[in-house]
């Protein structure tokens, strides 16, 4: 039996690129189908992440034009990670494999052939890894590479230069569904699921049209989220740093006593101010790190849904036979 593939594509305000990239996704699906690697029941599943432009209308039109296109809409914008998860969870009972990919044409669609081949060879997870970043600006490349290094240093196990372009089997998705955290960082969660995995490399291109939704501030937010969702190493670092400051303070105390004994204490104002500023700075940063974790615990204890699907194209069209088969 040939495997059923679902290509899961999160879309947020992508009306400029969607008409172009949807064709590319469909062509790739048909090509894989024609070489006999995947089943004819394979689909492209768009996830509209609460777009404010005409993205959902385009998705609905595509679904009406061609049965290979399906779409679901989130009830509001929840961010890329939640949109990908919504698509994967919707797909997991209807297919054998999923490939998640951004809808802006940056990730080379031809890597899908290698991904499907790796699956047919027995791999359950195939990570798409960027071989070059020539098209990114120096700043984007530098910050992005620093991001992966920092994540690994901080104990969040991630695949270097892999974003969310990856193949996962339905078996992996069933297990991923058991990871109930609300703070999502799929790049860190998928390696934790395990199973046989491999990586395929591809070249990352420039966006076909539209603008990136990930400016530096959002990337920094994702890095902090990634680290604090996946690891408690920053808390341990506070302890080590606390010890270091304590040792320095102890040396400072001995130095102060010595100065007192030799009668040179009158000029101590500047050093005192420096120490107070330094220690209070350290304390505030430490409190901030602890606060970040408490915030995470608070959000997790609420058990809020990670996504809410408001519409599905096959329900909207109200044609029973178009409901993609559940297993
Ligand atoms: N995206 C989303 N919800 C958001 C922001 C982005 O679903 O709130 C989607 C977006 O449509 C795209 C993908 O996530 O398919 C990656 O976003 P983008 O290309 O802007 O990020 P970059 O590639 O610049 O990091
Ligand atoms: Mg992009």
pLDDT tens per residue across span 74-118: 999 999 999 999 999 999 999 999 999 999 888 999 999 999 999
Residue with tokens 């010890």: 243
Residues forming a β-bridge with 199: 127
Determine the pLDDT at residue 319. 58
Determine the pLDDT at residue 28. 94
Q: Which fold has domain 5-231?
A: Spore Coat Polysaccharide Biosynthesis Protein SpsA; Chain A (3.90.550)
Residues forming a β-bridge with 198: 126
Give the closest ligand to the alpha carbon of residue 83: 1
Determine the pLDDT at residue 247. 82
DSSP SS3 for 109: coil
Determine the pLDDT at residue 233. 79
How far apart, in whole angstroms, are the C-alpha atoms of residue 230 and residue 154? 9
Token reading at 256: 């102060």
**Cα-to-centroid distance, 35 and ligand 2 (Å):** 29
Per the CB < 8 A criterion, the answer to whether 152 and 233 are in contact is no
Per-domain boundaries in the chain: 5-231, 233-301
Length of the chain: 327
Determine the pLDDT at residue 316. 78
Q: List, for the chain, all residue ranges whose pLDDT scores fall below the cut of 50.
A: none
Determine the pLDDT at residue 255. 82
Token reading at 183: 């703070």
Determine the pLDDT at residue 46. 97
**Cα-to-centroid distance, 16 and ligand 1 (Å):** 13
Give the CA radius of gyration of the chain.
25
Which atom of ligand 1 is least distant from the CA of 10? 7
How far apart, in whole angstroms, are the C-alpha atoms of residue 79 and residue 213? 10
Residue with tokens 């530096």: 216
Determine the pLDDT at residue 320. 53
């Amino acid at each position: 039996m040939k495997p059923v593939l679902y290509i899961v594509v999160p879309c947020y305000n992508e009306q400029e690129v969607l008409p172009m990239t949807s064709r590319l996704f469909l062509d790739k699906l048909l090509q894989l189908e024609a070489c006999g690697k995947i089943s004819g029941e394979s689909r492209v599943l768009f996830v509209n992440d609460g777009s404010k432009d005409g993205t959902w209308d385009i998705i609905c039109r595509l679904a009406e034009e061609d049965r290979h296109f399906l779409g679901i809409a989130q009830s509001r914008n929840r961010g890329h990670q939640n949109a990908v998860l919504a698509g994967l969870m919707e797909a997991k009972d209807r297919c054998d494999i999923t490939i998640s990919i951004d809808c802006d044409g940056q990730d080379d669609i031809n890597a899908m052939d290698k991904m499907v081949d790796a699956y047919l060879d027995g791999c359950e997870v195939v990570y798409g890894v960027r071989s070059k970043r020539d098209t990114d600006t120096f700043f984007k490349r530098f910050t992005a590479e620093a991001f992966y290094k920092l994540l690994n240093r901080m104990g969040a196990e991630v695949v270097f230069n892999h974003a969310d372009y990856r193949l996962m089997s339905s078996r992996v998705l069933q297990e991923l569904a058991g990871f109930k955290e609300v703070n999502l960082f799929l790049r860190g969660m998928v390696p934790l699921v395990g199973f046989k995995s491999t990586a395929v490399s591809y070249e990352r291109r420039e966006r076909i049209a539209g603008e990136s939704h990930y400016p530096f501030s959002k990337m920094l937010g994702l890095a902090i989220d990634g680290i604090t969702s996946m690891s408690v190493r920053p808390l341990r670092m506070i302890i080590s740093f606390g010890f270091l400051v304590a040792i320095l303070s102890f040396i400072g105390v001995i130095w102060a006593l010595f100065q007192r004994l030799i009668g040179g204490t009158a000029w101590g104002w500047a050093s005192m101010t420096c120490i107070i500023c330094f220690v209070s700075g350290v304390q505030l940063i430490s409190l901030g790190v602890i606060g970040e974790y408490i915030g995470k615990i608070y959000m997790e204890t609420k058990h809020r849904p990670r996504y809410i699907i408001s519409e599905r194209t096959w329900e909207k069209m109200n044609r029973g036979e178009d409901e993609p088969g559940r297993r």
